[in-house]
A and B are shown apart, each in its own frame.
Chain A
């Protein structure tokens, strides 16, 4: 039998009352590093992500959503209706055994149910509670409703995209993928672990208030800082003088090239067979290269158009010039680099079967990423948590299920 690898966060017990992406992604990060995460879902319904695709073989089923499966790896799952009195009592019993409580519900709802930090610290003074909401626990927009789209635009990045818009009468757009929600879950996890670290010395828990808008604003902080320094409003959707500001079309897709340093620019000029550009005064410095960018970018694009993205990628990188192809999910799944790094790992799930999953972007030398268990089936660990942890009788569970508590 293989010896269990040491877990990075194996000493932490986490409780999640989260939904969809943000809260669940925050606790997924902790679970993947070994924390015991108990995820609470509404009885019979479960997390919203169970009803959103992609679904395995395009067959909608609450246990076969790729989104849910991805966001809830390595967690235990229980069902509990925390809006009932019994549900609240049980939640509080769990809170007594919890180091970290992560939730992403509207502040007013948590208060209404007596589940605000002030209520919970009474029963566990060591509790670290992290609340992640669109606008935080304070301020005039505290109770505003917002989905990822709204948060992303409220955070200031949407207004900047797409850079060099072909048509300014068209709408600004949000970032793709699950970026807007995931980054907030990730950022919240830093403060959560810092509070856990601090607790070790002080013995005291605390509340962490994370506003998604705040997180997203700090991500475009540089553009905001530029504004602080009295520059005009940053509008990157407007066409502006710039050197290779967007991915360029090549034979089989697009490639992006970035030259920040003067050395990179000179090597780039040589690699496209235009060494004279390396000596050209107009392009000798970062700022002037961009100022004169429009004069040269079309010529570069002509060169780029003749080659494949793979050829260009290696041609530029061989000269230590930062270039990258625009990849699709397929490209990534087939990338030899991802293969060599073991970026995709297999996990077996009772309904969805054996699937590959993206693992983590970091390799810990002592405590590797683990695939101990797949995402939980709805209520899969009710027996374990309620009977073994809280001491309920099996018969209690039946009654609690019949009355819709679990």
Chain B
């Protein structure tokens, strides 16, 4: 196997929940050694989410498919943050780390002696990422949030949904987008440190990590004082630009047309060349103005075909179309299979698990799934024994004293 891009990078990871955990998992796909700091006194809630799937019920801290999907490739060590001796051990782990990441409420780590200022003394070039709902300064710094809160406060939910329906806070994807932002920020700081030898602290707001995705809406308000609102699948200039019902139960295809050439190709491919000469649709402006009528006509055509048939017919003609895929359909999609996005890992208690790997293909240093998420404390001996040089006897004492807990 070839080397990893982040070979030799070690991360002390206090992150938990979705937005925290996935950030460092992305870097672990690239080869960083991520040591997740856990404790029975502070169990990641995604470890204990009881889930019934079909006839199987997953219970207990080492049986969560959700936790597994979010913490791939990581190691786990158990240290009780309420014990002063554990804090000392953590500082030693930080001393042999390149990055520290955390997403507790702002100030929590400072209070127990693991804030950036302290860790910087322990390791002068340490990079530390603190991610929180609203960031660590400002009047809302102590306020918390989950994915739906980020989507709502950021303005994203207001822009998602039907024009006559409720705002939609999207799905858990919102957390993973915040996580992706964290991974990018850490990656930038690592490049900077490599070049200058300097570490730094990064203070990230999950709300803002979503707000930057609404740049056009923010600019529209700043420039013209106009407030955009949700409008289903519609575009501000393109039409057709929607999902259309197809043959089958709750099956849909997305079609988007930008140019006159695409429009003519669409009409021919759909077997309705007469639409191309219909003056209601003669150019982009007319099509946009008459989009409701257009949507009706397109829908009357798609309903007679499956979503894959429509896709094939239109793609052959150079028109953008794709099914609106369910998770079930994704798994059987030939392109999904060809791209090998899914990987199988052996989980100690769950058995063979299919998971999604990294979304990039690096030609020389491939990112990949190397192992399942860790059992809680699975790597106590490796981290405390091998890395810190603590004897097995002393480790046993630390367990008895509930420092390793």
- Mask, B351-362, CB within 8 Å of A = 1, is 001111011111
Q: Is B364 an interface residue (CB 8 A)?
A: yes
- Mask, B210-230, CB within 8 Å of A = 1, is 011111111111111011111
Shortest CB distance B353–A (Å): 7
CA distance A9 to B153 in the complex (A): 30
Asked whether A324 and B153 contact (CB < 8 A) given A217-B330, A234-B326, A358-B212, the answer is yes
Q: Which of B144-203 contact A (CB under 8 A)?
A: 144-162, 165-173, 176-177, 180-181, 183-185, 187-192, 194-196, 198-203
CA distance A230 to B221 in the complex (A): 45
Return chain A residues, CB-CB under 8 Å to B151.
256
Q: What are 15 contact pairs spanning A and B, CB under 8 A?
A: A8-B192, A145-B319, A146-B322, A151-B322, A163-B169, A171-B245, A194-B6, A201-B7, A205-B364, A206-B365, A209-B363, A324-B153, A327-B152, A328-B227, A333-B221
Return chain A residues, CB-CB under 8 Å to B322.
144, 146, 150-151, 153-154
Contact B181 A135 (CB under 8 A): no
Shortest CB distance B372–A (Å): 12
Q: Is B241 an interface residue (CB 8 A)?
A: yes
CA distance A221 to B139 in the complex (A): 34
Q: Is B87 an interface residue (CB 8 A)?
A: no
- Among A228, A247, A355, residue most surrounded by chain B Cβ atoms (within 10 Å): A228
Return chain B residues, CB-CB under 8 Å to A399.
none
Q: Which of A138, A158, A358, A362 contacts B218 (CB 8 A)?
A: A358
Q: Is A363 an interface residue (CB 8 A)?
A: yes
CA distance A177 to B230 in the complex (A): 9
Return chain B residues, CB-CB under 8 Å to A153.
243, 252, 254, 322-325
Return chain A residues, CB-CB under 8 Å to B353.
228-229
Shortest CB distance A129–B (Å): 9
Return chain B residues, CB-CB under 8 Å to A213.
335-336
Contact B219 A67 (CB under 8 A): yes
Return chain A residues, CB-CB under 8 Å to B195.
11, 200
Return chain B residues, CB-CB under 8 Å to A227.
327-328, 331
CA distance A33 to B184 in the complex (A): 11
Q: Which of A12, A150, A168, A332 contacts B191 (CB 8 A)?
A: A12
Return chain B residues, CB-CB under 8 Å to A160.
171
Return chain A residues, CB-CB under 8 Å to B66.
222, 225
Contact A173 B233 (CB under 8 A): yes
Asked whether A361 and B211 contact (CB < 8 A) given A187-B359, A195-B365, A220-B327, the answer is yes
Contact B214 A176 (CB under 8 A): yes
Asked whether A172 and B324 contact (CB < 8 A) given A211-B339, A256-B169, A324-B145, the answer is yes
Q: Is A179 an interface residue (CB 8 A)?
A: yes
Q: Which of A11, A57, A162, A175 contacts B223 (CB 8 A)?
A: A57
Shortest CB distance B360–A (Å): 4
Return chain A residues, CB-CB under 8 Å to B238.
147
Q: Is B306 an interface residue (CB 8 A)?
A: no
Q: Which of B232-287 contact A (CB under 8 A)?
A: 232-233, 235-238, 241-245, 250, 252, 254-256, 258
* Closest residue on chain B to residue A288 by CB atoms: B50
Asked whether A179 and B177 contact (CB < 8 A) given A153-B252, A156-B326, A220-B171, the answer is yes
Q: Is B69 an interface residue (CB 8 A)?
A: yes
Return chain A residues, CB-CB under 8 Å to B3.
198, 202
CA distance A138 to B360 in the complex (A): 12
Contact B135 A341 (CB under 8 A): yes
CA distance A327 to B223 in the complex (A): 18
Return chain A residues, CB-CB under 8 Å to B325.
153-156, 159
CA distance A57 to B212 in the complex (A): 22
Q: Is A297 an interface residue (CB 8 A)?
A: no
Contact A144 B315 (CB under 8 A): yes
Identify whether the interface residues of B are mostly helix, strand, loop, or mixed: mixed
- Mask, A210-239, CB within 8 Å of B = 1, is 110111011111111111111111111000
Q: Is B341 an interface residue (CB 8 A)?
A: yes
Asked whether A218 and B341 contact (CB < 8 A) given A191-B362, A260-B45, the answer is yes
Q: Is A371 an interface residue (CB 8 A)?
A: no
Q: Is B56 an interface residue (CB 8 A)?
A: yes
Return chain B residues, CB-CB under 8 Å to A223.
171-172, 327
Q: Which of A176, A194, A330 contacts B187 (CB 8 A)?
A: A194
Q: Is A322 an interface residue (CB 8 A)?
A: yes
CA distance A218 to B144 in the complex (A): 25
Return chain A residues, CB-CB under 8 Å to B146.
258, 260, 322
Asked whether A247 and B166 contact (CB < 8 A) given A146-B322, A327-B154, the answer is yes
Shortest CB distance B319–A (Å): 7
CA distance A2 to B103 in the complex (A): 34
- Mask, B323-353, CB within 8 Å of A = 1, is 1111110110011101101100000000001
Q: Is B79 an interface residue (CB 8 A)?
A: no
CA distance A228 to B352 in the complex (A): 10
- Mask, B299-325, CB within 8 Å of A = 1, is 000000000000100010011111111
Contact A200 B194 (CB under 8 A): yes
CA distance A221 to B179 in the complex (A): 13
- Among A71, A141, A210, A236, residue most surrounded by chain B Cβ atoms (within 10 Å): A141
Q: Is B383 an interface residue (CB 8 A)?
A: no
Return chain A residues, CB-CB under 8 Å to B241.
147, 149
Q: Which of A138, A171, A336, A344 contacts B232 (CB 8 A)?
A: A171
Q: Which of A266-305 contact B (CB under 8 A)?
A: 285-287
* Closest residue on chain B to residue A309 by CB atoms: B152
CA distance A152 to B183 in the complex (A): 22
Q: Is A174 an interface residue (CB 8 A)?
A: yes
Shortest CB distance A249–B (Å): 8
- Among A137, A325, A332, residue most surrounded by chain B Cβ atoms (within 10 Å): A332
CA distance A2 to B62 in the complex (A): 54
Return chain A residues, CB-CB under 8 Å to B53.
226, 229-231
Contact B212 A182 (CB under 8 A): yes
Return chain A residues, CB-CB under 8 Å to B214.
176-179, 329
Asked whether A328 and B155 contact (CB < 8 A) given A286-B49, A365-B200, the answer is yes
* Closest residue on chain A to residue B198 by CB atoms: A366
Q: Is A70 an interface residue (CB 8 A)?
A: yes
Contact A140 B173 (CB under 8 A): no
Contact A56 B172 (CB under 8 A): no
Contact A332 B218 (CB under 8 A): yes
Contact B338 A139 (CB under 8 A): yes
CA distance A327 to B135 in the complex (A): 17
Q: Which of A161, A217, A236 contacts B356 (CB 8 A)?
A: A217
* Closest residue on chain A to residue B66 by CB atoms: A222
Contact B208 A177 (CB under 8 A): no
- Mask, A66-106, CB within 8 Å of B = 1, is 11011100000000000000000000000000000000000
Q: Which of B49, B202, B254, B320 contacts A362 (CB 8 A)?
A: B202
- Mask, A334-359, CB within 8 Å of B = 1, is 00111111011000000010011110
Return chain B residues, CB-CB under 8 Å to A33.
188
Contact B212 A66 (CB under 8 A): no
Asked whether A138 and B338 contact (CB < 8 A) given A153-B322, A197-B194, the answer is yes
Closest 8 A/B residue pairs (Cβ)? A176-B159, A66-B219, A361-B208, A340-B138, A54-B220, A177-B214, A324-B149, A206-B364
